Amino acid sequence: MVTLGDVDPGFGPRDDLRHWPAEGGRMRDSWFWEMIMPDEQLGMQVYLYLTNRGKTGYNVSVWGPGEEPVALKLAQGTVGDEMDADNFHFEGLTVKQPELRRTAEVSYTSEDVKLEFNFTALHDAFSYKSNPDGLPAWFAENRLEQTGHVTGFLEVGGRRIAWDRKGHRDHSWGVRDWGVPHHWKWFIAYTESGRAVNGWIWIARGEWGFAGYVVKDGVTVPVSHIKHHAEYDDTMVQRRLEAAVVDITGETTHVVLESYGAVKLPTRDPMGTVITEAACRASIDGEEGAAQFETHWPGQYLQHLIESGL
C-alpha cells in the first residue's frame, strides 16, 4: 500500500484511540462507519463521539427513499476514563479495533435494529493534513479517512441483509467550531473492484478548501482541488453531484453521484447546523459503485434558501 506525497500526516501508532487534552483543555473524538447499498435501496451509518469528560453518544441510522428514516437510533450519556475505542460498549453499541487503523468490529442491538460487521482497510489511513490545503483548525486537530471491505449483516424492518461489500470509516479528534464554515460537501464513493474517491469541499472565512484522496491500483493519491456542481430539490436536499477530482499528480477522476434517499441528522449546536446524508448510486470514471454525499448548512441560511425558492 502506497500513499503519495511528502506531507507529515500528523498521527502516530495509537491515534485511532481516545485523545486527552492538555490540563484544563477540552477534547472530543468521533468515529464513523458507513455502508451504502444501492441494490437494497438503503444507506447505513454508525457515528460515535466521546469527550475527555466522559460524555458520549451515538447515532445509528438506516435510511432509504422514504421521507422518514427506516431507523434512527440516538443515545447519549457518560462513560469512565477507562473506556476507549479498542473495546467500547454503551447502550447496545460495541466497537472493537483489533488492529488499529486496519480492522474494526462493530455491533449494535436494539428492539428494531441489529447489525454486526467486520471492517478491513483497503489502504493506509489517510489524514486530511496530507492535502495541499491542509486541515483547518476549526474542524479538527486531525482527521483520518479510510475505505475498506465489510462483512456482516443488518436486520431492520423485517429484512436481513448479508454484507460482503465495500464501506468506509473516519476518525476525527479535536474541538469543532460549527460556526466558522459557511458550507461543506463531503463524499465517499467506491466500487467493488477497489476504486475509491473521498472528497471534502469547504468554504469558511470566505475561502475555499479541498481535501480527500483517490485510490487506484493500490495507490492512494491526495486530492489537490475539486471542480464540482450539485443539484438540490425544493427543500435543499442534495440530489446529484458531478465532480472532477484533481489529485496532486494532475490526474482527474470523474465522479457522478445520484441520490436515492437522504436523512437529516440532529447536531444541537448553537448555529442550528443541519447535516444531511444522502445514499447514492455512483460512477467513478464510468465504473458503477456506491456513495455517500453529505452537506453542511447553517440552519438560518438553509431556511432562507428554501423560502427564497431560488
Question: Identity (one letter) of the amino acid at 281?
Answer: R
> Residue 76: which of 96, 62, 92 has the closest Cα?
92
Q: State the Cα–Cα distance between residues 148 and 161, nearest whole angstrom.
A: 18
Cα separations in angstroms, 105 against 20, 147, 232, 249:
23, 15, 35, 35
> Which residues make beta-bridge pairs with 72?
61
Domain positions in the chain are 26-308
Mean pLDDT score, 177-205: 96
pLDDT in tens, 49-60: 999 999 999 999
pLDDT value of residue 270? 81
State the cell numbers at 307: 423560502
Q: By mean pLDDT, which of 9-13, 58-62, 187-191 is the weakest?
A: 9-13
Provide φ and ψ at 133, rounded to 5°: -80, -10
User: What is the chain's Cα-based Rg?
Assistant: 18
What pLDDT, on the 0 to 100 scale, is given for residue 42? 98
26-308 has CATH 2.130.10.10 classification: no
Alpha-carbon span 117 to 103, nearest angstrom: 11
Q: What would the mean pLDDT of 221-246 be, rounded to a whole number?
A: 97
Q: What is the mean pLDDT of the chain?
A: 95
Question: Average pLDDT of 205-232?
Answer: 96
CA distance 49 to 127: 19
Question: What does the pLDDT read at residue 61?
Answer: 96
- Asked whether the predicted pLDDT for residue 274 surpasses 90, the reply is yes
Of 193, 239, 196, 199, nearest to 215 by C-alpha is 196
